[in-house]
A = this chain, B = another copy of it.
């Protein structure tokens, strides 16, 4: 990748920055002068940038603040329906599709049965149909653009090339160029990523901060998504987030992966025998490892297994993290919360895979504007 920057890149960078602040400000909006303070740009530059954004229909004026002795500040806000993105969550037995607007609000949701073991053509047809359905359903006006499709699915894959690897349990997909195939079927740009990454991105963007963030997903397996510095950390091979098979018990009980003492094995074994407290304690130990290693600011739990006993998992994980923080003499502990909405966060995050680059939240490789 290049890294060299020219004037259009500069312009795009600053526009993304302003757009992200508008997104974070939400319906409440933000004044030009605060944008200037937050970006470090001069007020005049912000005026020019917001004028362009307004001309493109991405931003609009929305009232004014109270005067502080002079002309009152004009409030700007994002125009949510200036553009949309489709998010797909391809799970083992189910396909969830959402249409999200620029503000990240889900304006349409649909669920379809799916068999990931079926031939690629069938899966592709289902996915393309789902895209068409939510596109038709969600937009208030037909002429608004749809920027693309984000597809999230389990198992290893390569985000850069959009090619799948050995999706767990479905070896047939190994080497399948899902991104290009889906792009051809839908006529839209497509981004693919792991389900945990998508969920982590979506949940991180919901917040108003740029804090470092970890999402732990406990369902039929255990995985993690990491958002560092406001953008997904995928690693060179999209392999980051391999959390379930971290060794947490040297020479512990065997795991189906061939290893021993993996977090996933310990956690699911405890959950399987109904010992939620122990499962939460194991998960907490892994989470605390992660928090310490990366100096994470916030941990969010999700997935079906967690959803069944939300309070118990949050309490258990929080207890371990707080205890370790106390040992290290840190006063402020890392907050632990749970992602509501079952599996929806994955599909919503998948849509954010497309939208995030507009706000400068792309991962390592900088995505272009459509």
Q: Residues on A close to B: CB < 8 A?
A: 2-7, 10, 13-14, 17, 38-41, 45, 156, 166, 211-212, 224, 226, 228-229, 233-243, 245-250, 252, 257-259, 266, 282, 285, 288-290, 292-297, 324, 327-329, 364
Check if B233 sits within 8 Å of A228, measured CB to CB: yes
Within 8 Å by CB of A6, from B41, B166, B243, B294, lies B41
Provided the pairs A246-B292, A250-B266 are in contact, do residues A2 and B39 lie with their beta carbons within 8 angstroms?
yes
**A317 smallest CB distance to B (angstroms):** 13
Could you say which residues of chain B place their CB within 8 Å of the CB of A40? 2-4
Could you say which residues of chain B place their CB within 8 Å of the CB of A229? 364
25 A-B residue pairings within 8 Å (CB atoms) = A2-B41, A3-B40, A4-B39, A5-B10, A5-B14, A6-B41, A233-B294, A239-B292, A240-B293, A242-B292, A242-B293, A242-B295, A242-B328, A243-B292, A246-B292, A246-B293, A247-B248, A247-B288, A247-B289, A250-B252, A250-B266, A250-B282, A258-B327, A259-B324, A293-B293
Measured in the bound complex, the distance between the Cα atoms of B364 and A211 in whole Å is: 12
**A320 smallest CB distance to B (angstroms):** 9
Check if A17 sits within 8 Å of B4, measured CB to CB: yes
Given A2-B39, A242-B295, 9 extra CB contacts under 8 A: A2-B38, A3-B40, A10-B10, A211-B236, A224-B293, A236-B295, A240-B294, A258-B327, A290-B293
Check if A166 sits within 8 Å of B329, measured CB to CB: yes
